[in-house]
Amino acid sequence: MTEEKNNFKKRLLLHLGISVLVVIALAVVLIFLGLNISKRTSNILKIRQDIALHNQKLESINSLRASQERASRYMSILENILPTEENLLSLDRELNKLAGDTSLDLGFSFGEEIKSTETQPGSIAFSMTTRSSFGNFINFLTAIEGMRYFIQVNRLELNRQGNDFTGAGQGVIFAQL
């Protein structure tokens, strides 16, 4: 019986030893898998953040493209609104015709030219002198406002000489320069 007891104890210890070794091996494998899963989870989260950032950039690019397309449609309209430098050559003739139509004597000359920038249109300074009745002068100014040019009068002086008025003015004409 003692021998059976010893054999039983040996087998029990052998089985317990094998079981403990299997449990330890499984624990090591589980710890390794847990660390590996944690590492891969971190990588997946980083990749998701990168994808979200990339998607946000793509949405911004698409939005900018759509805005650029809308702006380019308006840009062509704006470019057509402001006359080119060549179109300004006819301005002197048009002003002289308006002066004749309103019975006004006109002296007109171009001045300094300022090139366009990203935020400001180009412009050409001008000066003019006039002589006519007050009503004709008002009619002339009203006709200038109706022209296709964007004209800004910066200074205007009127002097009365009998029934007539003489005027001197300065301003700018906005154009594509």
Q: Give the predicted TM-score (pTM) of the model.
A: 0.53
| CA 152/CA 124 separation, integer angstroms | 10
The CATH number of the structural domain formed by 87-175 is: 3.30.70.60
* Gap between the terminal Cα atoms of the chain: 117
- Round the average pLDDT of the chain to a whole number and report it: 83
What are the domain boundaries of the chain? Answer: 1-81, 87-175
Pairing verdict, β 164-175 and 150-161: antiparallel
Digit-coded pLDDT (tens) for 56-89: 999 998 888 888 888 777 777 766 677 777 777 7
The answer to whether 140 touches 105, Cβ cutoff 8 Å, is no
Q: How confident is the model at residue 139 (pLDDT cuts 50, 70, 90)?
A: confident
Partners of 152 in beta bridges: 172
Q: How confident is the model at residue 158 (pLDDT cuts 50, 70, 90)?
A: confident
